[in-house]
Chains A and B, each alone.
Chain A
Amino acid sequence: MLKAENITVRYDGNTVLDNVSFILPKGSWLMVAGPNGAGKSTLARALAQGVPYSGKVIYDGVDIASLKPAQLARKLGMLEQSNHLGYSFTVSEIVRLGRYAYRSSPFSKADSDDESLIEKALEYTGLTQLAERSVLTLSGGELQRVFLAQLFAQDPEILILDEPTNHLDLVYQKGVLDLVRQWVKGTGRSVISVVHDLSLARAYGDKALLLSQGKAVAEGAPCEVFCDENLNAVYGMDVRGFLTSLLDQWK
């Protein structure tokens, strides 16, 4: 179980995240939603120890801030919303780096477990045929799958996905989320994802956390968190009315 207690992040005197707390049981998928500037990505980065914060993040009784980088990477992995690459690494080279945290010395080679996880990650994400392709030749969707494969190869107990479907078309959006669901199914691994699409959040999440102006507005089951009262207050509009009117276009 992951327990975040009073997470507060300040930048230049401004409070970006204000005393946010939540609990993530093992094997569940938490959807973090909220309008722009609510602090969703900052929360994801704080959990991944990418920004300084006050408060505690406890996982299985251990404060994760006390873990060494490699220990942390085995517990917790993060997929950024976008990755800009300058050098022409191959798909396989990037995915293989996912096993970095498991190497014992600078020159230790990948063992059979590493190799099988790398192959499985490539296969799962449909990248086996592209393994030796330069990442500079890939589309945005394919690149997102490369980093997802790296995360699968890293095989952490908690996956943090910061807007994983950003810039992806519908096919890729569904593909990425289905892959994550398949990967974590029955393994006890947990997922925290930052999302903008409330329909996707309801469809894939077991739990939801709604943020507004750096504060947690509601936490619990998605259908309870994404109720009209909460959404209308946070987004300042009739969210249900807007979403159903969009769906009506397809009738």
Chain B
Amino acid sequence: MKKREALSPVTYLIMTAVLMASVLICVCIGSVNLPIGDTARALLDGIISLISGKELPRGGSHAIILFSRLPRVLCVALTGASLSLCGAAMQGLLRNPLADGSTLGVSSGASLGAVVAIACGITLPGLAGVGTMVTAILFAFLSLGLILLLSYRIDRNMSTNTIILMGVVFSMFATSIISLITVFSQEKVKTITFWTMGSLANTNYVNVLTILFAFIICAAVLFCCSRELNAFAIGEENARHIGVNVKRVKLIVLITVSALIGVCVSVGGTIGFVGLIIPHMTRKLFGPNHKKLLPAVVFFGATFLLFADLVSRTLLRPLELPVGVVTSIIGTVVFIFIFARKGAK
């Protein structure tokens, strides 16, 4: 009678294979299409060089694959996985399928940080783009602190509704400040506008390591909270009755999600709909149990964003679209389709 509560090893194997294949395809396809054999060989050489410390073979497409396309593709996969994971956790915690990582307003805070950094030209010596990333992460945490502090001052119980309300209000405030800065930014308007649309172009291994580090820690924390997220998804009162420390779990999940979202926004800007649509679709396949849902959204989110990014850089080649635009368009269509089907049923 007892049914498996976690995903089966075969499911993991299939999802890993699909993700690996997607990574390979996305590295192959670009402004210049590369043969799959060359790409696989370059990736293998890269791994061997990393392990043994041997120098990479010169010439060929190694440089393009390993230093241009691979870091971007890895960043995209990690961002997709992170955004989806945050979305799934928030949808469970808030018992709301329309929630995602940005519901709390932290992504707007991170965006504000990045826009401030771009407008003021904040940089770190020798590390291009890192100034924007660090400022965005800093603003993400400051925003979270402010939202939680205000929520606590208004409602000592820190009910979910109060936190969401504060998040929405803060988000509006941050967006208006971003608009204000954009108006006065003159020559940097284009950079700011493109950044706020969400793009993972020009990402490097520093970005990869930053997201990877944040992802490993945050995913571990959220996976540990799977059972609690199930309880919250059934109902906060019910969670309290069965013995969940609702206040502590809520804070842990909110802080973790905010941290991960902050890092993602700092690297890739605001990429909408991934955290909303992927958990929704994955729940249709695997059910709402977070022991299955959380690992599954990691794979689905990574794969989805890889292909969205592929579309963004190949659809109007050589012109590149911001990936946030592509995810929003796909997300809207999928969302309408899901709700139309639900309505028809």
Q: List residues of B (238-269) whose CB comes within 8 Å of A's CBs.
A: 238, 240-246
**Given A88-B287, A89-B234, residue A78 in contact with residue B241 (CB < 8 A):** yes
Q: What residue of chain A has the Cβ atom nearest to residue B92's Cβ?
A: A87
Neighbouring A residues of B2 by C-beta, 8 Å: 115
**Given A97-B227, A100-B227, A115-B2, residue A89 in contact with residue B243 (CB < 8 A):** no
* Partner of B245 from A50, A68, A107 at Cβ < 8 Å: A68
**Count of residues in B whose CB is under 8 Å from the partner chain:** 30
Neighbouring A residues of B235 by C-beta, 8 Å: 80, 83-85
Cβ contact within 8 Å between A73 and B288: no
Cβ contact within 8 Å between A154 and B240: no
Neighbouring A residues of B305 by C-beta, 8 Å: none
Cβ contact within 8 Å between A93 and B230: yes
CA distance A99 to B240 in the complex (A): 13
Q: What residue of chain A has the Cβ atom nearest to residue B1's Cβ?
A: A131
Cβ contact within 8 Å between B234 and A85: yes
* Partner of A69 from B95, B243, B287 at Cβ < 8 Å: B243
Neighbouring B residues of A50 by C-beta, 8 Å: 237, 240-241
Question: Which of A48, A69, A83 has the most chain B CB within a 10 Å cutoff?
Answer: A69
Q: What residue of chain B has the Cβ atom nearest to residue A108's Cβ?
A: B227
Asked if A103 CB lies within 8 Å of chain B CBs, one says: yes
CA distance A112 to B169 in the complex (A): 49
**Given A78-B241, A101-B242, residue A93 in contact with residue B289 (CB < 8 A):** yes
Asked if A190 CB lies within 8 Å of chain B CBs, one says: no
Neighbouring B residues of A98 by C-beta, 8 Å: 242
Q: How far is the CB of B59 from chain A (nearest CB, A)?
A: 49
Question: Which of A52, A84, A97, A154 has the most chain B CB within a 10 Å cutoff?
Answer: A97
B contact face: mostly helix, strand, loop, or mixed: loop
**Given A88-B288, A90-B287, residue A100 in contact with residue B242 (CB < 8 A):** yes
Cβ contact within 8 Å between B3 and A132: yes
Q: List residues of A (207-243) whose CB comes within 8 Å of B's CBs.
A: none
CA distance A98 to B283 in the complex (A): 22
Neighbouring B residues of A87 by C-beta, 8 Å: 95, 97, 233-234, 283, 288
**Given A92-B3, A93-B289, A132-B3, residue A106 in contact with residue B224 (CB < 8 A):** yes
Asked if B225 CB lies within 8 Å of chain A CBs, one says: yes
Asked if B68 CB lies within 8 Å of chain A CBs, one says: no
Q: What residue of chain A has the Cβ atom nearest to residue B249's Cβ?
A: A69
Neighbouring A residues of B3 by C-beta, 8 Å: 90, 92, 132
Render A91-119 as a binary contact track against B, CB cut-off 8 A, 1 for contact: 01110011011010011000000010001
Neighbouring A residues of B237 by C-beta, 8 Å: 50, 80
Asked if B175 CB lies within 8 Å of chain A CBs, one says: no
Q: How far is the CB of B230 from chain A (nearest CB, A)?
A: 6
Asked if A62 CB lies within 8 Å of chain B CBs, one says: no
Q: How far is the CB of A152 from chain B (nearest CB, A)?
A: 12
Asked if B231 CB lies within 8 Å of chain A CBs, one says: yes
Asked if B226 CB lies within 8 Å of chain A CBs, one says: yes
**Given A94-B234, A106-B227, residue A77 in contact with residue B241 (CB < 8 A):** yes
* Partner of B243 from A85, A101, A107, A147 at Cβ < 8 Å: A101
Neighbouring A residues of B230 by C-beta, 8 Å: 89, 93, 97
Q: What residue of chain A has the Cβ atom nearest to residue B236's Cβ?
A: A50
Render B1-35 as a binary contact track against A, CB cut-off 8 A, 1 for contact: 11101000000000000000000000000000000
Cβ contact within 8 Å between B242 and A89: no
Render A65-87 as a binary contact track against B, CB cut-off 8 A, 1 for contact: 00011111110011010011111
CA distance A119 to B2 in the complex (A): 9
Neighbouring B residues of A144 by C-beta, 8 Å: none
Asked if A150 CB lies within 8 Å of chain B CBs, one says: yes
Point out residues on B near A: beta carbons under 8 Å.
Answer: 1-3, 5, 95-97, 157, 224-227, 230-231, 233-235, 237-238, 240-246, 283, 287-289
**9 further A-B pairs in the complex, CB-CB below 8 A; given A77-B242, A150-B242:** A50-B237, A69-B244, A73-B242, A87-B283, A89-B287, A92-B3, A97-B231, A100-B244, A147-B238
